[in-house]
Structure 1
Amino acid sequence: MSLGMLGRKIGMTQIFDKKGLVIPVTLLKIGPCVITKINKHPEKPYANIQIGYEYINPRKINKAKLGYFKAKSLPCFRYLKEYKSKSWEDLTIGKTINITKFTIGSEINVSGISIGKGFSGYQKRHHFTRGPMSHGSKNHRQPGSIGAGTTPGRVFPGKRMAGRMGYKKICIRNLKIINIDTLTNTMIIKGSVPGKSGNIIYISKSKNTV
């Protein structure tokens, strides 16, 4: 339960290691984030820490959010995220946390909204096999039978059928940090991250990281 951060996905590229092997990497712009709320639990060993990311013009938010930030004497943020943390004694409201809390070689978890595919069919969404493609066949990409007519006389919930694909929250775990640039708040990690370039992402330290 380590304190995480927010950022945006810049895009993917590739780098070469010392042996000349290609490593697919993703560039992330992380933070800086500001602590906006600390909820302590006397009966629990952790506290709920809320952080804010990306400043926004006060005219572009509603009065409820404006009053929330004004009561805490904080600037307005576009995104808020809450994490559970056991090491909260040194944290205060208004403190800025940046990318320096991460180290090269450690592992992190990254979650975000995957790319939406729209309304997709059976083959694309569930990897169904197609029907015969010969002349006269009327079952090229159709689903086929979806249930008996007499018994049970209905389609059970959860049947794999055509529908909206993608645009779901996905978490990729144990992504290794290749490099960190503290001047530009950018991070290079090995592997892919869900979502399009520019999408908001949520990162936290992996449990495998000591």
Structure 2
Amino acid sequence: MPPRTPLSWGTIPSLFLLPPSPRSMPCQSQRRTIRSILKPPPKPSRFDQSAKKVPAALSVSSSLNRKSYTLRQRTGVLATKKGMTALYDIESGKRTPCTVLQLDRCQVVSVKTREKHGYYAVQVGTGYRSPHNINRPLLGHYLVNEVAPKKKLVEFRVKGKEGLPPVGEELKASWFKVGQFVDAKSQNRGMGFAGGMKKWGWSGQPASHGNSLTHRAMGSAGGSQGSGSRVHPGKKMAGRMGGIQHTVQNLKVLQVDEENGIVVVKGCVSGPKKCLVEIQDAIKKPWQTVDLTLPMSMASIREEAII
């Protein structure tokens, strides 16, 4: 029997240097079954972040286009609520309650574009404010745009650059036409701290049958173990009432007085007298229900710009 040769570990090559076994080698030709043929290809997801560029559905332009139906084509104006009155029709004898709104030196202070600011908007100011009561950054903002200091500034978003009027243009009562519908946004009258019956319209607890000194009280605020032994969010309780922003939609314009800056709308508008009201074209009514053309000065500016 010949002697065995000594085993040297240095002569054995490493495993990764050895040729792969036939079982571990990948199959050169894949089998195509009926299931693989009939199976539809996977649909591309619009939220797929595998690509280096941002998907089209997540881009800024796409998100703005999806929300475009919530924007008006024209800017709104700022007015002051003067009070309520009524209009009488002599022929039919019908009395129509209405609200009187007055514009006071409503002017375009600045505009915002999508290229520079990311969206289209118009900054509108109303009234007058002494320069001594304005901080220096805001005073410089008025100085750059060559507009007198305003008592109140509000920004109105518009759908496109077609709705951007020139800076310094005064918006008068003729901005609206008789017969069109508008939305009026204002801050309603604050009631202070109010109980649950006044704030939420509860009917109250019984007047007898064991009830003692809890006739106008709230009662139970929530269940025990069955509802988690807690007070659920949004529970109606006593608290501050009013003093929040409220919008009344689809108010019909009854009269327009351009000389005095008065717009009379049908129905009531939230807020006390002398409150600030934002008037815009009705968002839930079709556009161009009446002839909504720009004032003569703005129309001439647009024609010169086109020429």
Normalising by structure 2, we get a TM-score of: 0.64
What is the rounded CA distance, in whole Å, between the counterparts of 1:52 and 1:43 in structure 2? Answer: 21
The residue that corresponds to 2:129 in the other structure is 56
CA shift for structure 1 position 41: 1.8
Note if 1:6 corresponds to 2:78: yes
Whose strand proportion is higher, 1 or 2? Answer: 1
| Structure 2 match to 1:21 | 94
Instruction: Name the CA shift for 1:185/1:94 in 2 (closer, same or farther; >3 Å).
Output: same
Shift of 1:84: 2.3
Deviation at 1:164, TM superposition (A): 0.7
**Deviation of 1:135 (Å):** 7.9
Give the aligned partner of residue 195 of structure 2.
121
Displacement, 1:15?
A: 1.8
Structure with more relative contact order (C-alpha pairs < 8 Å, separation 6 or more): 1
In the TM superposition, residue 43 of structure 1 has moved relative to its aligned partner by 10
Shift of 1:120: 0.8
The number of residues matched between the two structures is 210
> 1:148 corresponds to which letter in structure 2?
G
Three-state SS of the structure 1 residue aligned to 2:263 is strand
CA distance in 2: counterparts of 1:42 and 1:60, whole angstroms: 33
Q: Supply the AA of the counterpart residue of 2:274.
A: G
Residue by residue, what CA displacement relative to the aligned partner does 1:110-156 show, whole Å, maximum 9, x if unpaired? 00000111111111111112112238521311111112345523212
Looking at secondary structure, tell me which structure has more helix per residue: 2
Q: Which runs of 5+ in 2 are unaligned?
A: 1-71, 289-307
Call closer, same or farther: CA 1:89–1:4 in 2, change over 3 Å.
Answer: closer
State the distance in 1 between where 2:116 and 2:167 align.
22
- Cα deviation for residue 197 of structure 1 reads 0.5
Q: 2:247 matched to which residue of 1?
A: 171
Percent identical residues = 29
1:201 equivalent among 257, 277, 290? 277
CA displacement 1:57-105 (0-9 Å, x = unmatched):
1011112211211222221111111112336477221121211121111
Asked if the contact 1:57–1:76 (Cα under 8 Å) also holds between the matched residues in 2, the reply is yes
Please report how far the alpha carbon of residue 42 of structure 1 lies from its aligned counterpart in structure 2 after TM superposition. 4.4
| Alignment partners' CA distance in 1, 2:165 and 2:209 | 70
Stretches of 4+ moved more than 4 A in 1? Answer: none
Tell me whether 1:142 sits opposite 2:217 in the alignment.
yes
Residues 46-195 of structure 1: matches in 2 within 5 Å?
A: 47-85=120-158, 86=160, 88=162, 91-134=165-208, 137-138=211-212, 139-150=214-225, 152-195=228-271
Residues 47 and 88, structure 1, Cα contact 8 Å, conserved in 2: no
Give the TM-score normalised by structure 1. Answer: 0.91
Supply the distance in 2 between the matched residues of 1:203 and 1:167 (Cα, whole angstroms). 19
Match of 1:37 among 110, 118, 122: 110
5+ long unaligned stretches in structure 1: none
Report the residue type matching 1:140 in the other structure: H
Give CA deviations for 1:167-196 in whole Å, capped at 9, x if unaligned.
Answer: 110111110011111111011111000000
Instruction: Look at both structures and tell me which one has the larger radius of gyration over its CA atoms.
Output: 2
The SS at the match of 1:35 is strand
What is the Cα-based RMSD across aligned positions, in Å? 2.2
Equivalent pair of 1:5/1:31 in contact (CA under 8 Å): no
Contact 1:31 1:97 in 2 (8 A): no
